[in-house]
A and B are shown apart, each in its own frame.
Chain A
Amino acid sequence: MSRPLLQLADVGRSFSGLQVCRDIGLVLAAGELHALIGPNGAGKSTVLDMITGLTAVDRGRILFKGCDVTRMPPYARARLGMARSFQASALLDSFTVQEHVALAVQAGRGSSYRFWRRSGSDPELQEPAAEIVARVGLADRAGVRAATLAHGERRLLEIAMALATRPDLLLLDEPMAGLGPVSCRRLAGMVRELKAERTILLVEHDMETVFALADRITVLVQGRVVATGRPEAIRSNRRVQEAYLGGPCSL
């Protein structure tokens, strides 16, 4: 296997004395879909925060594309090629769907210190944006403001924004949380499609999706990695069953 795309080495973080994550080791090979699972409060979102730079790490190192990004601000990491969707959708309420995606496209296209030309009629931004909006199935909602979107549509928009920066690494934070079965299936289909194009770190509660899609799975319990491996191995791992489900059983 070639150089890993992302590598976390003994990463730890504590909040006011409480160790939320400790000795996290995680290696993502280029092209794989890696799922991060664990019960509530296991520190999954904190791991994503540390990877994107929203939370500083206390210990350990984070390497992305062979670069030490441990102390890099979030925007610098994003420019290196990572993008993230948020669990609690973090949208810009006065922006329309299309404007969100255009802004994300803009982020990946050099300097935004441009003061005169209307971005709304700039094909360099709007055409790729429209394409991505259509791809996630929001074309007929392109002109709608985020504040009035339904929950499922917000999740789709989150993914559209993450895609628009053309990242090498896609971090998806519970994209299916709170979705009905239909939207869930649709999103799972989309993630499956994306899997062929990009390296993905997927945090998800929906086990059916995780075990169907993931190449490898890392299980996090109380801030520690208890197991990493292929889905079959994880399914039969005693420690995972005990920690995750409180006793031996079948996942």
Chain B
Amino acid sequence: MTRATVTAPGWPVLLFAGCGILFLLVLPPVLELSGHQYLLSLATRALIYALAASSLNLILGYGGMVSLGHAAFMGIGAYVVGILSHQAAGSGLLSPAAVQGAGPVSALMAWPAAVALAMLFALVTGVVSLRTRGMHFIMITLAFAQMVYFFFISLESYGGSDGMVLASRDRLPGIDLGDDRVFYYLCLGLLLLFLAFVHRLVNARFGRVLVGCRENEKRLQVLGFATFGYRLLAYCLAGGAAGLAGALLAEQGGYVSPAMLHWTRSGELMVMVLLGGTGTLAGPVLGAFVLLFLEEYLALYTEHWMVILGPVLVLAVLFARGGLYPMLAGHGRER
């Protein structure tokens, strides 16, 4: 008889997911009613970083590919939005209505372009970097990311190291991206869509091969899997999702700069994944929220907030083995 092999998610997982989604749904009205509207932009940023961290988790947590260059994909996505917006503003195509507020560029054009370019970059760099393992992989992804970082710094026509401010958010038919609350819910929707996609992916045949590669790639090759292709595709999917996160971040903050793709940002994304729980669906989301809100609140008390944040992270890693989410949901690695 066939046994239930992929264990159905237990009730703590479902409870956690339900509470989490409910919390994120009611957050904007609650913030408004309690007079903390200013936190909405922070929460939106946390959602965007959660998307980026989740995409990193796809390759790091499920695929075992420890990349320290993930911010490059975000940066590429952000710059696609920034450059398109800049070009439209400068080319005289700007309609008077656009100057008034509605952005000149359609998000339906800009965002897919951001995703596509990030995926292309992932494809080209992945073909090279995925031939290495472990520490070499970390270093080579870092090197590629720094190349992109310096490339954008040298782009004087797009602000160089200062970056550039966007005139307004792009336009999306039927949805007012300029409304912060709408934008928050859009980011939430995109994040949940991506998480659902990852959930299906890792439980499908493709995902079994990907997770298998994390555990023992040689073994999978001897079984007959051409593992390189599976890892490369996962790498491209993760790059594309991070590119989308970058595009959203540019829209949300209204500016892009090389600082978005400095290697410390890649490090931050990795901390979010590790803090929340690698190889879990909810972990990176939790990690993104905890890290961003900790930064924000510690910065209120002292400008040396990193001195506090550092030890907190060390303690979290030491005592919440496997991350905060597995600790809270009371189980190990979920799939």
Contacts and interface: CB of A to CB of B under 8 A. Distances in A.
A121 B6 contact: yes
Nearest to A124: B205
Given A90-B219, A96-B5, A143-B5, A75 B205 contact: no
B233 interface: yes
Contact of B2 (A53, A74, A117, A126): A126
B204 A115 contact: yes
Given A92-B215, A165-B223, A116 B6 contact: no
Contacts of B6: 99, 118-121
A83 B221 CA distance: 11
Contact of A75 (B2, B216, B227, B233): B227
B5 A103 contact: no
A37 B192 CA distance: 57
A112 B2 contact: no
A142 B3 contact: yes
Interface string A79-116: 10001101000111111101100111011100011111
Interface stretch (B24-32, B206-214, B259-267): B206-214
B300 interface: no
Given A113-B233, A115-B204, A119-B204, A52 B222 contact: yes
Given A92-B219, A103-B209, A112 B230 contact: yes
B36 interface: no
B212 A92 contact: yes
Contact of A130 (B2, B203, B204, B211): B2
A245 interface: no
Contacts of A54: 218, 222
Nearest to B230: A112
A130 B2 CA distance: 6
Interface in A40-91: 52-54, 73-76, 78-79, 83-84, 86, 90-91
A107 B5 contact: no
Contacts, number: 124
Interface string B220-245: 11111111011001000000000000
Contacts of A165: 223-224
Given A99-B5, A120-B5, A107 B200 contact: no
B318 interface: no
Nearest to A117: B204
A123 B277 CA distance: 31
Interface in B1-45: 1-7
B225 A107 contact: yes
B221 A73 contact: yes
Nearest to A111: B205
B5 A142 contact: yes
A113 B63 CA distance: 15
Contacts of B4: 120, 143
A114 B206 contact: yes
A143 B7 CA distance: 9
27 contacts: A75-B221, A75-B223, A75-B224, A76-B226, A78-B222, A78-B223, A92-B212, A92-B215, A92-B219, A102-B5, A103-B209, A103-B212, A106-B208, A107-B225, A112-B205, A112-B230, A113-B205, A114-B205, A114-B206, A115-B204, A116-B200, A117-B204, A120-B203, A123-B2, A125-B205, A126-B2, A142-B5
Given A91-B215, A114-B205, A125-B205, 9 more contacts: A75-B221, A75-B227, A76-B226, A90-B216, A103-B212, A117-B205, A119-B6, A119-B204, A143-B4
Interface of A: 52-54, 73-76, 78-79, 83-84, 86, 90-96, 98-99, 102-104, 106-108, 112-123, 125-127, 130, 142-143, 161, 165
